[in-house]
Amino acid sequence: MSEMNASSKRNLSKTIRYIGVVEGISYLVLLVLSILKRTTDLNVQDGIKHLGMGHGVLFILFVAAILLGKKYLSWDNKKSITAFIASLIPFGTFWLDIQLKKDEALITE
């Protein structure tokens, strides 16, 4: 497969960032709903069920995006594993977004 140009690499990086942020938001909302379920009488079970499915899809998409970053953005194992771990920690994908945005500025031809 041919090399990606700098513009395509920046676009891929932005896509990974956006997927990560949406995945992170869905994770935080699920955590809030889970807390509400256990601490209040609110019926949030349907919200957890539907958002949980969406979050699962986003998580799988994010893992696929990490693999694309590894292949096309030449991420090393440390960066790939860090990105994966960031998806498991609340607010981790927001930190990752900041890191990847810094890296985007360094992408050149």
The CA angle 52-69-60, to the nearest 5 degrees, is 15
Q: Where are the alpha helices (DSSP H) in 6-91?
A: 6-39, 45-72, 77-88
pLDDT in tens, 41-66: 999 999 999 999 999 999 999 999 99
Sign of torsion, CA 44 47 49 55? negative
**What's this model's pTM, rounded to 2 decimal places?**
0.89
Whole-number Å distance between alpha carbons of 2 and 19: 24
H or E stretch at 102: helix 92-105
The CA angle 88-89-90, to the nearest 5 degrees, is 120
